[in-house]
Amino acid sequence: MRHTNQNSFDRSEKRPLSALGIGSAGRVLCVAGERECCRRLLEMGFCGGAVVEVIRRAAFGGPIEFRLRGYQLCLRDDQAQCITVALSKVPSGDSPIRMRKNPSRETGFLRILQRAVAG
């Protein structure tokens, strides 16, 4: 009998990190690409088994913001394509990753983007 928990990941559903939607989570399976790019991603914490969640995407194909190992960082789409993840089987809204303490608080990036659109 296999033990499965609520936070399981399906290794058969592999895809690049850049293909995940906002709010989706995945577990890093491997990092591929140019040597320097791989080294940098591994140093940032994208090691095998790390859980990563997509927080938001910038407009017009800009950077993608991720939550990884307790901090948030942005990657360009071509960098995110170098990372292969297994999709989370957790239903949306039940993310295995801790939510922000104050979700109503806007970051500077979002405020600037909203002013640009409204202005």
pLDDT band at 19 (very low <50, low <70, confident <90, very high): very high
Q: Write the pLDDT tens digit of every residue in 26-77.
A: 999 999 999 999 999 999 999 989 999 999 998 888 899 999 998 999 999 9
Residue 96, token pair as written in the block: 């295995």
pLDDT band at 9 (very low <50, low <70, confident <90, very high): low
Amino acid 89: pLDDT: 62
Backbone angles phi, psi at 16, to 5 degrees: -65, 150
CATH topology of domain 9-118: SH3 type barrels. (2.30.30)
Check: CB of residue 106 under 8 Å from CB of residue 115. Answer: no
Measured distance CA(117)–CA(31) in Å, rounded: 35
Listed by start position, the domains of the chain span 9-118
Amino acid 93: pLDDT: 46
The residue whose two tokens read 């659109």 is 117
More confident residue, 12 or 101: 12
Amino acid 107: pLDDT: 60
More confident residue, 75 or 107: 75
Amino acid 75: pLDDT: 94
Residue 35: strand, helix, or coil: helix
Provide the 8-state DSSP code for 79. Answer: H
* H helix intervals, the chain: 35-44, 77-80, 108-118
Q: Which residues contact 1 (CB under 8 A, 6 or more apart)?
A: none
